[in-house]
Amino acid sequence: RNFSDKIDYSKYPVLIEDDLEEKFVRGSGPGGQSVNKTASACLLRHLPTDIIVKCHIHRSLTQNRKEARKILLSKLDNHLNKENSVEAQMRVISLKKNLEKLRRQKKSKELKDKWKEREHTDGN
């Protein structure tokens, strides 16, 4: 079954640029001089909710800005929509898929065990 079409994106938040405070800071971690001297990490703050995101995944400032906005949108969605957020819906779908898989495995194992038992008793 395909559960992905069941995700409700209607309540997914939209970022308003006036609600954001963006700063560019130096990153941390491995990378030596190039990391220490360039301010390529993006610090994004959503003013109404005071959610802060720091992104230093990429070397490029523009990529970090895009990634920070994606992360902030996800956090905003979780904050505003709680159990109806896209991430929560995906978790529920994943759980349903796993339960369905386990059910199929259990059914298959039971059929194999019945067949083995039937073959074993017929042979004697």
Do 100 and 70 fall into the same domain?
no
Sign of CA dihedral 91, 94, 99, 100: positive
Give the residue numbers spanning the domain of 101: 85-124
Do 41 and 55 fall into the same domain?
yes
Q: What is the pLDDT of residues 83-111, one digit of tens each?
A: 999 999 999 999 999 999 999 999 999 99
Residues 60/61/67/72 CA torsion (nearest 10 deg): 160
Do 21 and 77 fall into the same domain?
yes
The residues of the chain scoring below 70 in pLDDT are 1-4, 122-124
Sign of CA dihedral 69, 10, 49, 19: positive
Number of folded domains that form the chain = 2
Token reading at 13: 């938040």
- Is residue 65 assigned to a domain? yes
Strand intervals (E) in 15-58: 20-25, 41-46, 51-55
